[in-house]
Structure 1
Amino acid sequence: MPPYMKVVTIQTDVLVVGGGGAASRAALSAAEAGAKVRMACKAPLLQGGSTVHGASEIMSMGAAAGFGDKNDNPEIHYQDTMRAAEGFIDPKLVRVLAHDAPERVRDLLNMGLKPDQAIDGNVKLIQSDFGSYPRCVGVSGKTGKAFVTAMTGELQRMGVIVDAPMSLVDIVRDNEGSIAGAVCIDTECKHLVYYQASSVILGTGGMHGVFSQQVSTPEMTGDGQAICYRHGAELVNLEFHQFGPALVHPYIQLFSKSCFVLQPTIRNSNGELFLSKYLPDEVSIEEVMDEKVFPFTTSNVSRYLDIAIANEINEGRGGQHGGVYFSFEGVPESKIEATIPNTARWMRSKGVNPLTDRFEVGIAFQCMNGGVRMVNTNAESSITGLYVIGEVAGGVRGPDRPGGNSLAEGQVFGHRAGAAAAERSKRVDISSSSETTFNNTLSFINEVLERGHPKFDINEAEYNLRKAMQTYCLVEKDEIGLQKALSIIEEIYHQFDSGLGATPLTLSRTLSLRNMVDASRLVLKACLQRKETRSGHYRKDFTITDNTHYQGAFIWKKEPDGLRSWLHTYAMTK
């Protein structure tokens, strides 16, 4: 049967899927190692992903690079990270993260990155949550964009070709199960692209697009997680994700601790000051505000703020944009400028006066802590030749993590994956692979196109999925709510069973919805399986942290007889 869409074949040594901070670092390192590199990005460089769009008063990269306290060093960074998630994360990966991060920061400085400076002229450092010392380097709250901007210049200088907009359809494997390439849709020209490559690096990001409110861009629909799951890769720590209060209109921006120490006034759409009714008698509003951290955690009284906001919105007392109303009215201008200078500047640039205006704040998804499991320090997945980096990857983020580690991860494992992928391409000749899974992928696509227009409303399905995840899988979780969300998403899944159809114009969106469904089902099942409360995983029906039964990471894998999970406790720090 001839294909319903044109297929373009491109041969390359290394394919990097994604265009954020981790993917850019991987492509650069692979090119520096002598490989022919191609990037396939769902959104153009500097336009998509959480690295570019993430912004907060203290966004930064953690690295004990010698800029600060002489007593700080990579080993202490390692210990800080292990303490935050002991038993849930791989010590070998964490040690590499801590010890390689200083060199990766220096790489960025050599590319022209201009970090914030302290009054004394040295690099300004931020002390993050779980950090023993100030070690985080930032660029006026827009650190991620500065990173990608610096690396984009180097990629252009080295002649790395970037294909965009490209939506990942599938990975391709040889008859031994190793990577042989990937298939994407050119969403502009409406044809398929078959990348033949001996190494594929996935930097496809998180699952922001499965929630109604999130702080990045909606094209991250769990593509990498879902595709890897369907191919039998191992995934880990899927029940742990980060979220918290964020401005949701007129633009999206998370609110870090510095915004709350200003003691903002918070009202629902009825004009009511509602926070006090969610607090125990012994806890004051001032204490909750002073203790507030981002992301949500059950470890201190600030949890009541997120719970209160989420409940008011879910019960219909939110504004038209899905948030409650904040204002800094009455806070002296000098205090605002001294405490949240970046936030105040960004608000004004979007037409919001932080001194007098009220604005909507909701609970927004920020980051997956789990993902496709890295099985070695080169960020390789359990599928040979497939590397996973950035938010799609799992292994160094558990229930909690030090602030600044996410950007460090992207640089450290992006570099390692790029170098390893380039080395593999020198050893592996995929042209000798006579059989691959490409024809299976093409047959599936043709079957979808043969059915034509889908038999269900994609807009309605996306809306229902996002609403279910936002309502039941964000702040407060329990068996009833998680099962309700799962049933809503299972209903969408069964609509696929009755005949997933699309046209060339709708194919990319339809396949993204399929990925949203598979990724969301995995997360919901992981949340159901962990019958305890731990950090950001808050189970109303299991409020105690249960170290006897749950001190370890759940690993998930699709096998011929169904989805399997098991608890794995990583070695403790010494």
Structure 2
Amino acid sequence: MKEGLLLNRYIADFNSDEIEKEYHDVLVIGSGIAGVYTALEIPEEYDIAILTKETIEISNSVLAQGGIAVSLDKEDSPELHFKDTLYAGAGLCDEESVWVLVNEAADNIEKLLEYGVNFDRKKQGELAFGREAAHSKNRIIHAGDTTGKEVCDKLISVVRTRNNIKIKERTFAIDLITEDNKCKGILAYDEDTASKKLYLSNVVICATGGFGQLYSRTTNPEVATGDGICLAYRAGARLMDLEFIQFHPTVLYHPLNKSFLISEAVRGEGAILRNIHGKRFMPEYHELCELAPRDVVSRAIFQEMKKTGATNVFLDITFKDKEYLENRFPNIYKTCLSYGIDMAKDYIPVAPAEHYCMGGIRTDAFGRTGIEGFYACGETACTGIHGANRLASNSLLEGLVFGRKIGQEVSKILKDSGKRKFDISIKYSANRSEATVNADEVIRHIQKIMTEHVGIVRNREGLLLAKQEVGNYFDLIKNMKNSTLRDYEMQNIVLLATLIIESALEREESRGAHYRTDFNKTDDVNWKRNIIKKLEI
């Protein structure tokens, strides 16, 4: 697919006069930290619906282990947090957005404490701060090694007490409904009844997370198929920085589990990386060793595996005793033990896996996308904070800070305009043919293509091969009749893979998480800029 090529505006045919409708003041798509927190930041006088693809408890946020970066320690400052974020972002961070992030962090953490989130504390009762890669200070607040779950559990428990917020589980957002570049609601697929439904609203907030399921190995849950990014693109929103995809360096590599994250906080507590011969190798790659930026560590592991012909390396924290490890990393310790690995005695087999996408729906600091009434936050958005490589533990913070700002913005709009119940009359039909492919098989092949050619290390030859193979699928399915959830996911995965490959081909340099062996230097003269993808409709 090329920019400007005709693309069906909607991936499902529908007649608004013939399907069920439901009205709300605000629609939130996604139930991770960004979506749930944003819903809580909108005044209770407004009627809100949270649409979530699975149950409300399933999201990337729930799986986040490390913590939330915030400069609360007396030896730290927002200025230092700002500097570290820019360093990790490899020259592409939006400085204005980063200033907002670091300066509003403390207020949002205070709000979490009010909601009852239990972060780890020192014996004196003060918040405990950990350190992760590329941070110059200890500033990561955490709840054991299940920070995301603790935060989400508390926020969801508060949501359940709010009479104005309705949770719509197993409801898949197919497409954003627009008229004259104005948001009108969401066309959704009810998974229980296998039928389409219209949710109408002047305000839609997209917080659908990332797209890890484009890769064979990922820390993301099965729901992370890039649906929000794709529905935004089809509606005419701009996408940015899609070529920058972060691979987490240390993901458990075990025959029974190759997706369990071994938190960066383990390296923050002193763990070192060894190759299959037991040799520590990170000092040969970067002065910060195991605490170098994630892209550096992932590439170092990749190179070490290539040199030794191994499928993994090892993480060694055996210098810490069992009691300490059970206390600091209870979930990681328990999970490793279930696979016969005792962290206090054994090296942990690890290898990189897809973890986070820096790119997404381009927004400003208030989550505005350029489509009136349509906002985005969390991993599905691209505020420019992460640049070419996300600084560890800035992701949950981003969802909080910009979720709150969207809440403030939406509150003002609703206050000025009042509650407006409206109707629409849209009949959309494309010339579609019956499916000739198996969606599961297509998705598995796309994952293989992306992992082999659009992963940690890339080059023009591999990217062109990937573009051709994915392009064949695009042509095959673009006019396909979609009738199941998996069909819709396949459409989104093929579209997004195409856009990522195009962006990776276009950027002829290496920067942050985008590394090309044929352009292995950073080129600030020609490439210190963002790549934007926008469909002309």
Give the TM-score category using the shorter length.
Answer: 0.7 to 0.9
For residues 60-459 of structure 1, the aligned pairs below 5 Å read 60-64=67-71, 66=72, 68-69=73-74, 71-85=75-89, 88-159=92-163, 160-174=165-179, 176-243=180-247, 244-249=249-254, 250-251=256-257, 252-256=259-263, 262-263=271-272, 266-267=275-276, 273=277, 284=281, 287=284, 291-293=289-291, 296-298=294-296, 303-309=299-305, 324=312, 326=314, 331=318, 334=321, 337=324, 341-342=329-330, 343-349=332-338, 352-354=341-343, 361-375=350-364, 377-395=365-383, 396-428=385-417, 438-440=426-428, 443-444=429-430, 451-452=433-434, 454-459=435-440
Offset at residue 404 of structure 1 (A):
2.0
Alignment of 1:53 onto 2:63: yes
CA distance in 1, matches of 2:412, 2:477: 40
Q: Which residue of 1 aligns with 2:444?
A: 463
Q: Contact (CA 8 Å) 2:210, 2:379: kept in 1 or not?
A: yes
User: What TM-score comes out, normalization by structure 2 length?
Assistant: 0.87
The CA deviation string for residues 115-155 of structure 1, in whole angstroms up to 9 with x for no partner, is: 11124431101234343432221111211111111111110
Q: Contact (CA 8 Å) 2:275, 2:305: kept in 1 or not?
A: no
Residue aligned with 1:532, SS: coil
Percent of aligned pairs sharing the same letter: 23
Q: Which runs of 5+ in 1 are unaligned?
A: 268-272, 277-282, 561-574
Kindly tell me the number of residue pairs found equivalent between the two proteins.
515
Q: Which residue of 1 aligns with 2:9?
A: none
Offset at residue 237 of structure 1 (A):
1.4
The CA deviation string for residues 281-321 of structure 1, in whole angstroms up to 9 with x for no partner, is: xx9576569813476424x7x73212343788xxxx77xxx
Decide which of 20, 24, 47 is 1:36's aligned counterpart: 47
Residue aligned with 2:160, SS: helix
Offset at residue 421 of structure 1 (A):
2.3
Q: Quick one: structure 1 residues 213 and 2, their matched pair in 2 at CA, closer, same or farther if it must change by over 3 Å?
A: closer
Q: Contact (CA 8 Å) 2:15, 2:427: kept in 1 or not?
A: no
Offset at residue 356 of structure 1 (A):
6.5
- Farther off after superposition, 257-266 or 215-224: 257-266
The CA deviation string for residues 156-185 of structure 1, in whole angstroms up to 9 with x for no partner, is: 1112110011111000112x2111111110
CA distance in 2, matches of 1:403, 1:140: 16
Q: Quick one: structure 1 residues 558 and 430, their matched pair in 2 at CA, closer, same or farther if it must change by over 3 Å?
A: farther
Decide which of 21, 46, 53 is 1:9's aligned counterpart: 21
Q: Quick one: structure 1 residues 341 and 141, their matched pair in 2 at CA, closer, same or farther if it must change by over 3 Å?
A: closer
CA distance in 2, matches of 1:170, 1:296: 34
Q: Which residue of 1 aligns with 2:486?
A: 509
User: What TM-score comes out, normalization by structure 1 length?
Assistant: 0.82
Residue aligned with 2:20, SS: strand
Q: Which residue of 2 aligns with 1:565?
A: none
Letter in 2 for 1:85: G
Residue aligned with 1:144, SS: helix
Q: Which runs of 5+ in 2 are unaligned?
A: 1-12
Q: Quick one: structure 1 residues 434 and 158, their matched pair in 2 at CA, closer, same or farther if it must change by over 3 Å?
A: closer
**CA RMSD across the alignment:** 3.1
Offset at residue 432 of structure 1 (A):
7.5
CA distance in 1, matches of 2:177, 2:128: 45
Q: Contact (CA 8 Å) 2:275, 2:281: kept in 1 or not?
A: no
CA distance in 2, matches of 1:16, 1:334: 45
- Farther off after superposition, 128-137 or 236-245: 128-137
